[in-house]
């Protein structure tokens, strides 16, 4: 899930779990979402991006970090 706090120019990418059967597709989704938030002049551009992994109960964290 990703959303933008318009008044604050802050984007939040919430990752509930790295436990995905299709890690490559998951990684691509994460990359595309980050790209939307960081593309200057883009509709979803934000000055700050928070990647929230609190409570993430997925697989080994190293796999998630590698995919991001």
Tens of pLDDT, residue by residue, the chain (68 residues): 666 676 778 888 888 777 767 778 888 888 898 999 899 988 889 999 888 888 776 555 565 566 55
| Helical (H) or strand (E) element with 24 | helix 23-38
CA angle 40, 62, 32 (to 5 degrees): 25
Q: From CA 16, how far away is CA 67, in angstroms rounded?
A: 14
- Look up tokens 């979402």; give the residue: 33
Could you tell me the pTM of the whole model? 0.67
């Amino acid at each position: 899930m990703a959303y933008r706090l318009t008044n604050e120019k802050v984007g939040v990418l919430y990752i509930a779990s790295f436990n995905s059967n299709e890690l490559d597709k998951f990684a691509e989704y994460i990359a595309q979402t980050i790209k939307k938030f960081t593309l200057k002049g883009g509709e979803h551009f934000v000055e700050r991006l928070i990647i929230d992994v609190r409570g993430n109960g997925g697989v080994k964290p190293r796999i998630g970090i590698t995919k991001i």
